[in-house]
Amino acid sequence: MTERLNVAVIGAGYWGPNLARNFRASAEWNLATICDLDIERAQGVADGVGGVPVTSSLDEVLADPSIDAIAIATPARTHHPITLAALEAGKHVMVEKPLADERHRGEDMVARADEQGLVLMADHTYCYTPAVLKIRELIAEGALGDILFVDSVRINLGLIQPDVDVFWDLAPHDLSIIDFVLPDGLDTTSVSAHGADPLRTGKACVGYLAMPLAGGAMAHIHVNWLSPTKIRQMVIGGTKRTLVWDDLNPQQRISVYDRGVDLASVTKSASTVSRDANISYRLGDTWSPALPEREALGNVVSEFAAAIREQRPARTDGEAGLRVLSVLDAARRSLAAGGAPAPMILDIPVRSAA
């Protein structure tokens, strides 16, 4: 059996305990330390996983030569400085979404990890769920045909975050999923965003984001911290079938509809396309694939260990985090321009189809 890797979890607030629990349960990892500025919080999480050393000093963690890696679950604005310090100290890093609170900071993180030859992984948790893995598989094998649209809704009564708006808090989930499941990933040229702050909290609490995708398709994302009902639904329409993913319905998370619009034969005249009388509607079956129930974070921590051992990029590496930040950055510029489409800054490679 290979030796376990030593990891420290930084941040013991809402999400850190989930990381701690999964590192603790993994045969790949030894959960060496829990670090939080609030030592009592760190102690509470340590007690919850059966007793682990705690500290309030990041410097102490980074100075410990036995620590191989850190997992950062602190607020977004702290991801950049903590990551840089950890890479400087020779540690591999996994960072919670969003990778950073500014695109250029994410670029810096990716460049530093490359220079140091260390793994930088974004915890895009949903990309490790059985549902998203199945969606990716169905799209890759052509079950949906060419993608026509993606419509994602992620709304609930949410925690208003101290440092990021609803786009930067919730949309990383939808964007990382789109990046992961579509053959061309987040291959968009511009983003239009509309946001509202009706409670005057100082940041958008309701957000709508639209972007063109490859081949004339379109993606739309609705994120909202003010909705009394919780909805986690993504519809992916294709030329052959349409998939509906309802993450809150464990009996039937994914439904595939063999229903849609067929353009049987399209007649083109000089500059127009006439579709009169050529449209038909398919009203076929609906089916639901069986999915294993497995906690995504178990897969996340395994992937982090595998990337370190095999000296390869993680499935959701720093560049995946950066693609998400690029859309969020364009959304921020679009919001500032009253919703006008803002061009993407495209100097990172789109996801490879492999």
Residues of this chain that bind ligand NAD (CB under 6 A): 10-16, 35-38, 41, 58, 73-76, 78, 82, 96-97, 123, 125
- In the complex with ligand NAD, the residue whose CB is nearer, 256 or 331, is 331
Q: How far is the CB of 54 from ligand NAD (least distance, A)?
A: 11
| Alpha-carbon radius of gyration of the chain | 22
- In the complex with ligand NAD, the residue whose CB is nearer, 14 or 281, is 14
Encoding tokens for residue 113?
């990890």
Q: How far is the CB of 173 from ligand NAD (least distance, A)?
A: 7
Label each residue of the chain as H, E or C.
CCCCEEEEEECCCCCHHHHHHHHHHCCCEEEEEEECCCHHHHHHHHHHCCCCCEECCHHHHHHCCCCCEEEECCCHHHHHHHHHHHHHCCCEEEEECCCCCCHHHHHHHHHHHHHHCCCEEEECHHHHCHHHHHHHHHHHCCCCCCEEEEEEEEEEECCCCCCCCHHHHHHHHHHHHHHHHCCCCCCCCEEEEEEECCCCCCCCCEEEEEEECHHHCEEEEEEECEEEEEEEEEEEEECCCEEEEECCCCCCCEEEEEEEEEECCCEECCCCEECCCCEEEEEEEEECCCCCCCCHHHHHHHHHHHHHHCCCCCCCEHHHHHHHHHHHHHHHHHHHCCCCCEECCCCCCCCCCC
- In the complex with ligand NAD, the residue whose CB is nearer, 85 or 143, is 85
Q: How far is the CB of 277 from ligand NAD (least distance, A)?
A: 49
> What residue is closest to ligand NAD based on CB?
13
What does residue 189 show for φ and ψ, rounded to 5 degrees? -105, -25
Q: How far is the CB of 278 from ligand NAD (least distance, A)?
A: 45
Determine the straight-line distance between the first and last CA of the chain, rounded to whole angstroms.
29
- In the complex with ligand NAD, the residue whose CB is nearer, 42 or 256, is 42
- In the complex with ligand NAD, the residue whose CB is nearer, 56 or 227, is 56
Q: What does DSSP say about strands 190-196 and 29-35: parallel, antiparallel, or unpaired? A: unpaired
Q: How far is the CB of 137 from ligand NAD (least distance, A)?
A: 22
Q: How far is the CB of 125 from ligand NAD (least distance, A)?
A: 4
Q: How far is the CB of 37 from ligand NAD (least distance, A)?
A: 4
- In the complex with ligand NAD, the residue whose CB is nearer, 238 or 318, is 318
- In the complex with ligand NAD, the residue whose CB is nearer, 120 or 147, is 120
- In the complex with ligand NAD, the residue whose CB is nearer, 119 or 296, is 296
Q: Which residues, 6 or more positions from 159, have their beta carbon under 8 angstroms from its beta carbon?
A: 14, 225
Q: How far is the CB of 313 from ligand NAD (least distance, A)?
A: 19
- In the complex with ligand NAD, the residue whose CB is nearer, 177 or 213, is 177
Are the beta carbons of 135 and 181 closer than 8 angstroms?
yes
Q: How far is the CB of 165 from ligand NAD (least distance, A)?
A: 12
